[in-house]
C-alpha cells in the first residue's frame, strides 16, 4: 500500500517534503491516500492531479490543508512547476 511506502521511506531516513498524487490509483483514491499520509506526517505538502474529483471534494481537501494545490487534467507542466514551487516556498518559510 502507498502509505506503507511512505512509512518505509521515513524509516530509511528519507525526508519527504512533497507528494504529487493522482486522484485515481489502484486500490485507493488520492484523497484517501493523502488524508492518511497527513494524519501521520502533517508536514508533508501535497498536490493532487485529477480529472475525476468533484468540486466539493477538491474544496474539502484544500480547506482542510490536506493538499496545497489541485491541478486538473490535462495538466500543464508550467502549472505543475508553479504548484511545486509554492509548496517548497511554504516549507522554507516554515508554513
**Cell for 53?**
474529483
Question: Which of 9-16's residues contact partners 24+ apart within 8 Å by CB, and which partners?
Answer: 10/41, 16/41, 16/44
Coil, strand or helix at 40 = helix
Collapsed DSSP state (helix, strand, coil) of residue 83: helix
In this prediction, residue 94 carries a pLDDT of 55
For position 13, which CATH number holds?
3.40.50.2300
pTM for the model stands at 0.84
Residues of the chain with pLDDT under 70: 1, 91-95
Pairing of strands 69-72, 45-50: parallel
Rounded to 5 degrees, φ, ψ at 92 are -70, -35
Total number of domains in the chain: 1
Beta strands in the chain (DSSP E): 18-22, 24-25, 28-29, 45-50, 69-72
Range(s) of the domain holding residue 43: 2-93
Amino acid at each position: 500500500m502507498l502509505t506503507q511506502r511512505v512509512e518505509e521511506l521515513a524509516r530509511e531516513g528519507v525526508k519527504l517534503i512533497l507528494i504529487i498524487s493522482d486522484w485515481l490509483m489502484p486500490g485507493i483514491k488520492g484523497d484517501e491516500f493523502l488524508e492518511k499520509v497527513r494524519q501521520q506526517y502533517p508536514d508533508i505538502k501535497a498536490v493532487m492531479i485529477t480529472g475525476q474529483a468533484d468540486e466539493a471534494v477538491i474544496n474539502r481537501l484544500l480547506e482542510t490543508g490536506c493538499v496545497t494545490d489541485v491541478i486538473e487534467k490535462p495538466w500543464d507542466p508550467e502549472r505543475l512547476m508553479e504548484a511545486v514551487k509554492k509548496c517548497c516556498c511554504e516549507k522554507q518559510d516554515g508554513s
